[in-house]
Amino acid sequence: MTIWPRRALSAALRGESLPSSNQFLTGLGLELAYFSGMAWLGRRGAGVVLRFQRVRPPRAARFQPLKSREITPRFLDSTIAALKRWKFDVVSMDEVCQRAVTLDAPRRFVCLTFDGGYKDLMISAYPVLAKHRVPFAVYVPTAFPDGLGEAWWLALEAVIARENRLSLVMDRKEQRFDIAGVSEKYQLYDFLSGWMRSLAPADLSFAIRDLCTRYSVDLAELLRKASLDWSDLATLAADPLVTIGSATVNYPVLSNLGDADALREMTMGAMVGQAAFHRDIRHFAYPFGDRASFRRQHVAMAEAAGFISAVSAMSGVVETAGRTSLHALPRVSWDGRQRSLRALRVILSGATFPRPQRTVGEADARRPAATSS
């Protein structure tokens, strides 16, 4: 029998991230929290915005580096049924914004959001969502429906999955990697994805195009197959329960851009959506959305650009009475490897999250602003 360190168990109960080798412990801690009554006795905030990315049936492939970002249609169906059974209000992003600035409502809320504009939203998720008649939001990088963006994470996965050896130029030097084993493939994916996320746009474009050329990957075709097209989006936009939001044009890491380029990405993404759907695009999602991917000035830009809300991927609950910034809204990114509805119930209670301190904008307010390029 394994004896888990007390500090790690405490972290699990608080919902903190643990190393992948302790993935079971995260689920164990949440299960223990459920049976301890934390989901009912430790409730905080008014509700939670859930962040999903891909929704598709399970796959048998041994190498799935993005599996944590996927849920199955069956799990989505079970989740919505459970939310109704637990008496949560499933609300739109507009209502999230209303509840965030008013006093407590009698019932807690959950908002369902989907990032990336993936095709499987239409194929696998939308039939489930339409069956339950629940509102949801989808945040679209507006270059992706035309196959014009560079979804480098998809190309990186495709190359590493297929090859046993990989070479590419890093910092002007040719690097070679042996990746015959699955564990080596995972390690290289983690390493290269972290490196690519740190690159300036021109360097990232060169790196991923070089990789695709070497290994005969058609990046545009890969993106077209994976992404919603404009016909799909028109169908979604016609549904009054669907909120179409923007996630820039090309889905860059905003903190890697100069201020002028970042603002252009934000405003042009909304303008393309408005032209396509003949309606205002009122909600925004920061690409990637973690603390390293956007800064204080981007929160201000989102507000200045006229967005009613801007969502992050930083975990937390939405507080009432204006205590949560509408332009740095937290979201819970659900790990698709976790299938427990009891764990979900604990997370939705808000009890696992630390007490709010300051938003991204407030936390950075005393720091010097980054220099624009």
Choice among 90-104, 158-172, 342-356 with the minimum mean pLDDT: 342-356
Residue with tokens 């474009």: 205
Domain closes at, from 185, 204, 221 = 221
At residue 357, the pLDDT reads 56
CB-count exposure of residue 61 (10 Å: 0-12, 13-18, 19+) = exposed
For the chain, how many helices (H) and strands (E)?
A: 16, 12
At residue 355, the pLDDT reads 66
118 and 243 belong to one structural domain? yes
Q: What is the pLDDT of residues 278-310, one digit of tens each?
A: 999 999 999 999 999 999 999 999 999 999 999
At 142 the three-state DSSP class reads coil
Interaxial angle between packed helices 182-197 and 201-214, expressed in degrees from 0 to 180 and rounded to the nearest 10: 150
Residue 175: domain span = 152-221
Tokens encoding 38: 């934390």
83 in a structural domain: no
What is the pTM assigned to this prediction? 0.86
pLDDT reading at 110 higher than 60 = yes
At residue 284, the pLDDT reads 98
Contact 10, 342 (CB under 8 A): no
Across all residues in the chain, what is the average pLDDT?
A: 87
At residue 353, the pLDDT reads 78
Q: What is the pLDDT of residues 316-340, one digit of tens each?
A: 999 999 999 999 999 999 999 888 8
How many domains are contained in the chain? 2
CATH number of the domain to which 251 belongs? 3.20.20.370
DSSP class per residue in 303-326? HHTT-SEEE-S---PBPSTT-S-T
At residue 28, the pLDDT reads 62
303 and 317 belong to one structural domain? yes
114 and 162 belong to one structural domain? no
pLDDT reading at 152 higher than 60 = yes
211 and 282 belong to one structural domain? no
Q: For residue 83, give the nearest of 47, 130, 44 by alpha carbon.
A: 47
125 and 216 belong to one structural domain? no
| Residue ranges of E strands in the chain | 47-52, 54-55, 70-71, 89-90, 109-115, 136-140, 165-170, 173-178, 242-246, 283-285, 309-311, 332-333
pLDDT reading at 132 higher than 90 = yes
Confidence of residue 6 (pLDDT cuts 50, 70, 90): very low
For 13-38, what is the mean pLDDT?
A: 48
Q: What is the pLDDT of residues 213-248, one digit of tens each?
A: 999 999 999 999 999 999 999 999 999 999 999 999
